[in-house]
Amino acid sequence: MRTTTGWQSTSTSIALERVPIERRELREDDLAVRVDFCGVCHSDLHAIHGLLGKPTDGLVPGHEFTGTVTAVGAAVTSFAVGDAVAVGTVVDSCGVCAMCRVGQENFCLEGPITTYGGTDRVDGTVTKGGYSREYVVRERFAYHLPDGLDPAAAAPLMCAGITMWEPMRAAGIGPGSKVAVAGLGGLGHLGVKLAVALGAEVTVLSRTPDKADDARALGAAGLLVTTDEAQLAQGRGRFDLILDTIPGPHELPPLLSLLALDGTLSVVGFPREVTLQLMNLTAGRKKLTSSGTGGTRGTAEMLAFAAEHGIVADIELLPSARVEEALTRLGEGDVRYRFVLDLADLDQPAA
């Protein structure tokens, strides 16, 4: 076994501990990746608190990271030592089902293997994530990090970015489309950037007007205050797609009322149990859907598009030893817009 160092949660605590972590020896199609930068996703908090069905004791979070290849297996052909790489939320799948064959491994019919809290298909061990200095991943689920993208700011593209990208591509968003983004956080700010680059007119939906200037700075045409009944009435029937990135329980009917004919509400921030009358969908043939990150085809497309348009996340970079601070502030909504951990401090002796 290979040994590295990482940050581990015990008993649903965000007070992560620095511990040795075992990684498998390289299989023929594996890469060893030195993890340089790992984004802190709201789903990391959900997982630590036991909301995602992952084993919580001994959990090592982190599923959006960039780094450098340090070793390759004997059958690897697409990567070499020294290559800059990015890894996202899925690290294995069956490879043969209908979903895998079209590049939607995130929806693998046998179940995708997630970057952390999953069960390895070969040896049955629990996967441990990118809050660590090394990760071993199959070649098929690693991506070349395009030249020109800052590796720290690009890390959140591998979860937040692709989570926004796939619903937009499924909805056919392009020039002339009208897109709304509910929630201007880690997901939402990338949703604005990507939708604008696709040519859409973008509006941010928020409970308060406080982020109006931020929304416009990101490229949005404006902000609609969802607690203002007059603004809600003016926005009725307006949008082709609403990307709902709100990370906690909330009501969907007010958002559905803003959709145009055949419009789509894609709930990606908190895709859990909701209460809804089907009549909320009837008038206007509205669609309610969700999405779970992305597969290899969409992720590669998204990275190429981001590189072409210079799109990365707006981040606050912290040494990984401050991970508890990052998780605490994330839970309080005190970040614009994504925390990223710099794992280089794991090369130093523990304080």
What is the distance between the alpha carbons of residues 73 and 28, in angstroms, rounded to a whole number?
4
Model confidence at 148: pLDDT above 70: yes
pLDDT recorded at residue 231: 94
Phi/psi region, residue 16 (left: phi>0; alpha: psi -120 to 50; beta: rest), is: beta
Identify the pLDDT of residue 116. Answer: 97
| Dihedral angle computed from the Cα positions of residues 61, 66, 67 and 72, in that order, rounded to the nearest 10 degrees | 90
Mean pLDDT value across residues 77-98: 98
**pLDDT score for 277:** 86
Helix, strand or coil for residue 30? strand
Stretch (H or E) spanning 98: helix 98-101
- Indicate the range of 131-145, 238-252, 313-327 predicted with least confidence: 238-252
Q: How far is CA 58 from CA 26, 117, 160, 207, 350, in A?
A: 23, 9, 24, 37, 19
pLDDT of the residue at 155: 98
Q: What is the CATH number of domain 2-159+294-347?
A: 3.90.180.10
Tell me the CA distances in angstroms from 202 to 214, 294, 304, one per residue in order.
13, 22, 22
Query: What pTM, to 2 d.p., does this model score?
Result: 0.95
Cα separation, 11 vs 195, whole angstroms: 39
Q: Say which range, 50-54, 101-105, 124-128, has the weakest mean pLDDT.
A: 50-54
Average pLDDT of the chain? Answer: 95
Question: Could you report the per-residue pLDDT of 239-283, keeping only the tens digit for each?
Answer: 999 999 998 888 899 999 999 999 999 999 876 677 788 888 999
Average pLDDT value for residue range 26-44 = 97
Q: How do beta strands 65-72 and 30-40 pair?
A: antiparallel
The span from the CA of 74 to the CA of 27, in Å, is: 8
Assign 337 a pLDDT band (cuts: 50, 70, 90): very high
- CB count within 10 Å of CB 282 equals 9
Q: Which CATH architecture has domain 161-290?
A: 3-Layer(aba) Sandwich (3.40)
Q: CB of 161 within 8 A of CB of 149?
A: no
Ranges of CATH 3.40.50.720 domains, the chain? 161-290
Helices (H) and strands (E) in the chain, counts: 11, 17
Give percent of the chain with pLDDT exceeding 90.
90
Is residue 19 over pLDDT 80? yes
Mean pLDDT of 95-122: 97
Estimate the crossing angle of helix 186-197 against helix 160-170, to 10 degrees.
50
Q: Residues of CATH 3.90.180.10 domain(s) within the chain?
A: 2-159+294-347
Residue 271 is predicted with a pLDDT of 63
- Give the rounded percent of residues in the chain with a pLDDT score beyond 70: 99
What is d(CA 5, CA 304) in angstroms, rounded to the nearest whole number?
31
Cα gap 266→103, rounded to integer Å: 20
